[in-house]
Structure 1
Amino acid sequence: MTRQRSPSSSRRSLPRWRRTLQGCNTWLVFACLVVCLVSVFVWRVFFAPHPTAGTDSTPWESLLNTSLTRNPRFAAPGSTSIRGTPTITAARIDEILRLYNSPAQGTGQIWIDEGIAYDINPVYALAFFMHESNLGTNPEWSGWKEDGTSTHNVGNIICAGYSRCHGRFRDYATWQEGIHDWYRLIALEYIDQRGIHTVEDIIPVYAPEFENDVETYIGSVREYALQWSAP
């Protein structure tokens, strides 16, 4: 008689290494799926294009983009925005200029008109002029020329391709030109292009640390603006 194999003995169990490999493949597929899901999430959150104002953004998103990014008006706590209506009058500016015997006496209304036109509080423009040259009275001011006249450069704006310059700085024919160009520079190159509008953000760019004491400059502008503003 020949001995026949039982049905169970005819099936050979899989080797242990193959069972292990199958288990690893299952976990590998699962891990790949998790990685794919995480990658999609990260891309959607950080890299996918987001709606901007004027496209498919919601009304509050449009308002946020417009008012805080392109044309910011509100400063973060502890910051000082230069934007807004005048907190100083033309008469008060003229009084201050006379008090310091400034060569720019009589220009009070110009500071006000330009500030309103560019939506910049004139008290900050005057404070910049004060810090840069003591309202044009500092004998070391770079705006003085050899013939005793001045460049009328209230903010010591560097030449940077301007049509007329004196040394490193722009040279204006009148105080009105100099005052206007300061407002234009701040409005276009800082508020519009860079999206910054506070004393704390503007000054480190306007007067970099490598050639100025930035913290002193910021404190000076804030102090004069506070001192000269109407109560």
Structure 2
Amino acid sequence: MASGSYAKKLIYQESPQTQIPPRATRPLSSVKEERETTKALPIVRPPKVVDEFEEHPLTRHLPWLRPFVVCMIIGIVSILVLLSAGVFQRSGPAQLMLSTNGQVFPIQVGGTLGAVNVWQKSNGPIPPKKNITAQTGPYSVVGKPSLSVDFMNQVLAYYHSPAAGKAQALYNDGLKYGLDPAYALDFFMHESTFGTAGVARVTLSLSNMRCVPEYPCHNEGGGYAQFNSWEQGFEAWFKLIRNLYIAQWGLVTVDQIIPVYAPSSDHNDVAGYIAALKHTVDTWHAGVVHVS
């Protein structure tokens, strides 16, 4: 059999392509062009219907809301009235003062730790900030003794004082601190009837002095300084009046001292206290032991 280049070869003929005529319709524009020409339709919202007769949301709360607001206003006004009354009706300084280190002491003994230390750590009269004259006015506590030791002992014995017979200590303290001991005896009478009444029977204090760091504190009625003897309590009063009230604050008369010593904020009758002290010392200066 013949083979190779002489062999019969099958020849495939490609059928001629038939040309398809273009469509009769118009050509479509591209998607991009269509997007560019398309515009968003406006959003049309339905009109809101307002009901002029519709109930307000707070209307249903009015039955309790109005009384609540009125009560709040009344409460605020009442608080302001009470605060203003406490501030403006106080005739003397506040009973308490704050110290820089947070400690609080009654104004009677100085108010601040620094003021308390000035007088309680002193031993004898300290130089005053201002000159002190021997007689600065009526009922001045500054001056020489106006009562004798014997007369003061008679007073203490007459009232059955547990400090009877100790008038010499009062007299000596008066000379040491430049104060008239008649006023120390006067304070002693009006604070505790010469140690026969109240907490002074325990604290041995001439003046019912409030607690201070130097002495133990007897915790009764707010706290009072506790002394080891009547003599120690006597000198504490002289130190307090001379080295704080007079030397630091310039208070020398009964009228000046009492509003601070026994302030109305501590439920004291300041005017009555002053009048009682004056009446008592006048009675003794007249040579009468019994004070009516």
Global fold match (TM > 0.5)? yes
Label 1:73 to 1:99 Cα distance change in 2 as closer, same or farther (>3 A): same
Query: Structure 1 residue 106: deviation in Å?
Result: 0.9
Contact 1:156 1:169 in 2 (8 A): yes
Label 1:201 to 1:221 Cα distance change in 2 as closer, same or farther (>3 A): same
Contact 2:204 2:230 in 1 (8 A): yes
CA RMSD of aligned residues (A): 1.9
2:161 corresponds to which residue?
A: 102
Matched AA of 2:277: V
Alignment of 1:28-177 (within 5 A): 69-76=130-137, 79-138=138-197, 141-144=198-201, 150-167=202-219, 168-177=223-232
CA distance in 1: counterparts of 2:128 and 2:169, whole angstroms? 27
| Unmatched tracts of structure 1, length 5 or more | 1-65, 145-149
TM-score, normalisation: structure 1: 0.64
Find the partner of 1:217 among 255, 273, 289: 273
Aligned sequence identity (%): 34
Matched AA of 1:178: G
Per-residue deviation, residues 77-118 of structure 1 (Å, max 9, x unmatched): xx4211111110111111111100001101111110000111
1:227 corresponds to which residue?
A: 283
CA distance in 2: counterparts of 1:74 and 1:208, whole angstroms? 25
| Structure (1 or 2) with the larger CA radius of gyration | 2
Contact 1:127 1:225 in 2 (8 A): yes
CA distance in 1: counterparts of 2:263 and 2:244, whole angstroms? 15
Query: Structure 1 residue 230: deviation in Å?
Result: 5.7
CA distance in 1: counterparts of 2:250 and 2:240, whole angstroms? 13
CA distance in 2: counterparts of 1:188 and 1:142, whole angstroms? 25
Contact 1:72 1:197 in 2 (8 A): no
